Chain A
């Protein structure tokens, strides 16, 4: 059974860079698309972007200028970097497997942007 686990700081200061890593276990990261999705407290889901195991990416246009998603196949991990964060970036961040739909999800990690 494929499992995903997000890791990274739970608190980030405004204007700094939010960095998260998703570790995939129970299966290879190869041959699949991997996505990030977030959910502000009490609100709905927002797709952030995806990466193919080969490294090709597709980002949400609303976040594209601040966003970098990368993959490390040797570690079975993929990562998210979101720069110049504000309070509006406070959310539970989920990693998931899939391009257009997401069949496996991590448990999510709350990232709060605050000074």
Chain B
């Protein structure tokens, strides 16, 4: 049981815009930044979004993050086949540990 809650799956067609939600509490998302990672099959996770909505160098602006209260969202616009991956949200928790969502498997139809 993950501390942060994500839908187990999401899907979209090429070119479409999809969003992935991440729900937490006042102990984590409500008081700290949210981070998003993309994990392609068989590879290590890659940082996609930091501090709620900042993109590291090299991450396309098709990827965007937002946060409101104790929830956050990752939006992917102009969906591409190479976006098919698992996506994880994360945040620092008052219990003094980093917590992750259970992950969302994105399928590009």
Q: Which residues of B contact A105 (CB under 8 A)?
A: 44-46
Does B24 make an interface contact (CB < 8 A)? no
Cβ of A96 to closest chain B Cβ, rounded Å: 8
Cβ of B45 to closest chain A Cβ, rounded Å: 6
Cβ of A61 to closest chain B Cβ, rounded Å: 6
Which residue of A is nearest B99, CB measured? A47
Does B63 make an interface contact (CB < 8 A)? no
Out of B35, B44, B56, name the residue touching A106 (CB < 8 Å).
B44
Cβ of A5 to closest chain B Cβ, rounded Å: 11
Inter-subunit contact A101/B35 (CB<8 Å): yes
Cβ of B27 to closest chain A Cβ, rounded Å: 13
Chain B: interface size category: 20 to 34
Find residues 13-44 in chain A having any chain B CB closer than 8 Å to their own CB: 35, 37, 44
Dominant SS among interface residues on chain A: loop
Find residues 90-115 in chain A having any chain B CB closer than 8 Å to their own CB: 94, 100-103, 105-108
**Could you pull out 30 A-B pairs where Cβ atoms are within 8 angstroms?**
A35-B98, A44-B2, A44-B88, A44-B100, A44-B101, A44-B102, A44-B103, A45-B37, A45-B45, A45-B88, A45-B100, A46-B100, A47-B99, A58-B97, A60-B97, A61-B95, A61-B97, A62-B97, A94-B44, A94-B45, A100-B32, A100-B35, A100-B92, A101-B90, A102-B37, A102-B45, A103-B56, A105-B44, A105-B46, A107-B43
- A residues near B (Cβ < 8 Å) are 35, 37, 44-47, 58, 60-62, 94, 100-103, 105-108
